[in-house]
Structure 1
Amino acid sequence: MEERRRPSSQYMERIQKNVTENMREILVNWLVEVAEEYRLVSDTLYLTVSYIDRYLSSRAINRRKLQLLCVSCMLVASKYEEISPPHVEDFCYITDNTYTKDEQVHDTFISASQSPDLKFEFLGCYLAELSLLGYGCVHLLPSMIAASAIFLARFTLRPKMHPWVRKFPKL
């Protein structure tokens, strides 16, 4: 994974004031059980934890919202990795209806839209996937499609900045 997309190795000490390593461990163990209950592929679980750690590396969260963040990240990850992802209502059920469907959907969009890495990742993937539709792209090398998607995603998110700077700054 690219370094800029990795979570900070010291986010608990530097950013999180209300979340502890023990709380994270308990929630990850719970997510393992959720993944087993819904027969999710292992990639969904790994992607979920990656999203959680990356989000927690970027902003502090209230401990009352930590489980909501976890199920929202699993919802997003399952949409990427699963053939038949669980529904939002399933995540309401597994949290004993602690969070409503609206809260989960709202948190999912907030999490995705506020994280520059996720916004860039989603846009880049979307642009690359668009190339799959065009027969005219068949002759292009995958590396050219990937480079083009990265270029256009960067240009779209920061139109006044040259897209090929060495390090893409945080939005």
Structure 2
Amino acid sequence: MTPRTITHGSFTLERRYKATPARVYKALSDEASKQKWFTPPETWGKDEHKLDFRVGGIETSVGGPIGGPVHKFRAIYQDIVPNERIIYSYDMHLDDTRISVSLSSFEIRPDGDHTILVMNEHGAYLDGFAADGNDLRREGTGELLNKLGLYLEREGMN
């Protein structure tokens, strides 16, 4: 029998983007925009992504490494203040096993002709998936925020 455990972890990431708060918010909230940067690593197969961006709305992403476990992300939006704040709770599964439940918040703040994005996450890592869970989550989220920055740069040139 698998021992039932919970290990807690949290992290904060901050990025400064050369974009208005409205552009950063749109990149996080608009499905067509988000699909251009919220993408899996190159070693993964095709990712399925759906976004219903509203309080109570659900976002899902399903994919994974070719030949590896399927990663399933399912978020519920808890609070939205346009151009200022987004909060959602989500769980992650590997195949059919839930490995974590988390709360994520995004603060969007103007900074001259830039925007500061502060992302904070609190995670509960379940049943032995905690060894590197928080560090891996921080790393993966950081990579996604970097992709967001590249997307904003590209879109700012058009």
Work out whether the TM-score is over 0.5.
no
TM tier relative to shorter chain? 0.3 to 0.5
Question: Which structure has the larger Rg over C-alpha atoms?
Answer: 1
Higher helix share: 1
TM-score norm. by structure 1 comes to: 0.30
Considering fraction of residues, name the structure with more strand: 2
**Under a length normalisation based on structure 2, what TM-score does the superposition of the two structures give?**
0.32
